[in-house]
Structure 1
């Protein structure tokens, strides 16, 4: 495959980026059909190049081996976390906002970026709805809670879970990335405090009325053990290897993964059954955000097939320049190049498959990558997790949070507007990571 086969994917990204800005009414009513159209163009191009059998095998693998587990996990976390209500009078002050962001960042590596985001995003939005300037709060929430905070365990972010499934030790990221994550998260929180305090000081004194009277309460606590059950299902699927698989048109679906996905669906249904309806109503819970993510990412997983195929071809493919860009002439990996290329591609290609691509590009030998090439694996991990925050599509929770905020009346920036804001905050920190002697992973 050559570069023209990537055009449907580019068209899909441009549609996601410009649709809400240029033709919002059409986009919000027909985004599923638009995304499906780009998927069909992709499949037709594969059929034209390689025939119907290859096309069917490729789309089966993309949807059953990659997309299915991805969306089932998101659905379970979205459903269960949506039943946990944090209520009470929380004012959107710089102090309370910073506490929520710090708490979410710490939670993200334990319950996942999606879980932490869904638990805390609605209380954060409610606390700041009365403020005339509030979208920066949600933007920093996306960056910290939905991305950076998930860097310390395979449960935190999908790319690291992919590494765990490929043999990376469970606590390797904790041991290897704690200092870099502390630097990035601490710097981001400090930047947020300055911006939020400046905005808060300039807002009218009447932005908040009355005083706090209702104490902070957490309801729907039965969903907390259900989140623990979700974590247990993920760990079980990684440790239990019965060696049984089902083959569907060349795609091997292993029993442990099928059992995990079935259990996640059951857990989500249990949450719907056991949680009181008024808890979800108090959360402003609707299915539209997860529905939008499901439709758009289904199209992304299909349209990205030719791009990943060209990248996977290595030196024989259309992206042969990429292999030479991250490798010295003597075969030594360039860690800084791995960090930036993995990160920038994660921002636009979804960070989980991008992580796996560069993991394989670096040799795929997990023992070597965790030891002699630990700097390379750290660079790949940091790039995939941190730079997933650069766009709405870099990591699935990003899009979900933006959709929830928009639904609740916060005017979120467009695709390019968010990219510009996030880049202005994050790129200087990434340059600091690249150069700072105290974070010697990249050299």
Structure 2
């Protein structure tokens, strides 16, 4: 696989980063055209070199194995969370915001980073609607709730689910609790002082929260939708456990499913996951008053934008993943801190799930005899911790590093919050996240 095949992926990322700054209206109207252009710029040369059948199989495999479950999960959580709203007299203040970010971070490991993000994003936006300076709130929201908080269980983030499917015990990730607490304390402390300064400036300009009566009366509307949220979490758990059951395997041990083309199969566990999630979304809409969605300012714009852009990202990043998979074992990485940075840096721009699998496979092939036994080989605990943290934590470095990042940005934009540009957000992550990750390396992975 020639590196030239990675040009469309780089081109699409450059469009996402630059065009909203220089041609915002044009970009908003022509995102699908840009996705088609860069996707074809990869597919057509690939078909010329490797044959049309191989090209079609590669794109179909990407859509069926990766994109389908990704976008269905995002769609289901988007729909269900849009039918839950928080009302009351809580106004966005530094202490309230720290509390909400902490709650969301703790939720991320148990309902997933995407689930916690979609559940918490609208209440936090609503409580801070009176404020002028609030983009930093959503940036730290992405840091903590959409990424770092998902490290404690396989439900939290897809890379850990892949580890669970390959022999890592379900509750092993609780080993990462000290690293999580270390990062959360640092980031929430920094956030508090940033938010306090912004809060005081807003108050000094005469901005006041719209609170009709004193007190902190809070109530949740659409609470029954937590049942449908639980359905989605159950679907994700099933997608990780059913493939290992004999009933879902053929005589050769392959997962059963509907054969589509070449070696591409829509597996029955994936199909069950999709059906359960879509059923949860449908029932959520049928059983919830539309007034709740109106109070949430619910629109389809955010999920539409994510669906369009990420199908192009998933297709065009295939060459980069293929090169990484072919050469991962020859990179000479055999220390935890090396695995931490290698997994993390690539997870910032590529899908963190296959990146995690590449380096987990690499670690399992290094011939260690002590550590965590997996079906890929024995992996030292410190190295497994480093790979897991790198994949989960550093997805926060860019908007495309993890599924909910771009969704939170889109919802924030829709609600009048001026979020940083692609490069602007990258500057935030370099300023606040990279120093924390350097501390992680020094304290936990050296």
* TM-score tier (shorter): over 0.9
1:217 aligns with 2:219: yes
Q: Displacement of 1:245 after TM fit?
A: 2.2
Per the normalisation by structure 1, the TM-score is 0.92
Contact 1:168 1:370 in 2 (8 A): no
- The residue number in structure 2 matching 1:317 is none
Report which stretch shifted further, 51-60 or 361-370. 361-370
Deviations 1:131-159 (A, max 9, x none): 22111111000100000111111111122
- Post-superposition offset of 1:162: 2.1
CA distance in 1 between counterparts of 2:119 and 2:202 reads 28
* Contact 1:85/1:282 (8 A) holds in 2: yes
Equivalent pair of 1:346/1:394 in contact (CA under 8 Å): yes
How many matched pairs?
Answer: 426
Per-residue CA deviation, residues 91-141 of structure 1 (Å, 9 max, x unaligned), is 111011111100100111111111111111111112222222111111000
Conservation of the 8 A alpha-carbon contact between 1:150 and 1:385: yes
Residues 296/372 of structure 1: CA separation in 2 closer, same or farther (3 Å cut): closer
Give 1:238-253 correspondences, 5 Å limit.
238-240=240-242, 241=245, 242-243=248-249, 244-249=256-261, 250-253=263-266
Change (3 A) 1:218 1:209: closer
Query: Mean Cα displacement is larger for which, 230-239 or 334-343?
Result: 230-239
2: distance between equivalents of 1:215 and 1:351?
A: 40
Map of 1:113-124 to 2, 5 A cutoff? 113-124=113-124
- Say if 1:204 and 1:221 are closer, same or farther in 2 by CA, change over 3 A: closer
Contact 1:326/1:334, CA 8 A, preserved across alignment: no
User: Pairwise mapping of residues 46-195 of structure 1 onto structure 2 (< 5 A)?
Assistant: 46-174=46-174, 176-195=175-194
Are the structure 2 counterparts of residues 60 and 375 from structure 1 closer, same or farther at C-alpha, using a change threshold of 3 Å? Answer: same
SS, match of residue 246 in structure 1: strand
Query: For the Cα contact (< 8 Å) 2:12–2:38, is it kept in 1?
Result: yes
8 A Cα contact 1:325 1:337, kept in partner = no
CA RMSD of aligned residues (A): 1.7
SS in 1 for 2:349: helix
Contact in 2 for aligned 1:347/1:393 (Cα 8 Å): yes
Q: What's 2:252 paired with? A: none
In structure 1, the residue matched to 2:347 is 346
Aligned-partner Cα distance in 1 for 2:379–2:42:
40
In structure 2, the residue matched to 1:330 is none
- Pick closer, same or farther for the CA change 1:168–1:372 going to 2, 3 Å: closer
TM-score by length of 2: 0.92
Structure 2 unaligned residues grouped into runs of 5+: 250-255
How far apart, in 1, do the equivalents of 2:347 and 2:111 lie? 22
Q: Which residue of 1 aligns with 2:384?
A: 377
Distance in 2 (alpha carbons) for counterparts of 1:423 and 1:57: 38
State whether residues 159 and 351 of structure 1, in contact with CA within 8 Å, keep that contact through their aligned partners in structure 2.
Answer: yes
Task: Give the Cα separation in 1 of the matches to 2:332 and 2:285.
Answer: 47
Shift of 1:360: 2.0
Q: What does the per-residue CA deviation read over 1:228-282, in whole Å, with 9 as the maximum and x for residues that have no partner?
A: 1111222223333322222222113321221111111111111111111111111
* 1:52-97 Cα distance to aligned partner (Å, 9 max, x none): 0100110111000111111111111111111111112221110111
User: Given that residues 326 and 335 in structure 1 are in contact (C-alpha distance below 8 angstroms), is that contact kept between their aligned partners in structure 2?
Assistant: no
2:220 aligns to what SS in structure 1? strand
CA contact (8 A) 2:91 2:211 kept: no
Map 1:215-364; keep pairs closer than 5 Å: 215-240=217-242, 241=245, 242-243=248-249, 244-249=256-261, 250-314=263-327, 323-327=329-333, 333-363=334-364
1:212 CA drift (Å): 5.2
Separation in 2 of the partners of 1:237 and 1:344? Answer: 27
- Give, in whole Å, the separation in 2 of the partners of 1:357 and 1:82: 35
Instruction: Provide the secondary structure at the position in 1 that maps to 2:373.
Output: helix
Please state how far the C-alpha of 1:370 moved relative to its aligned partner: 8.9
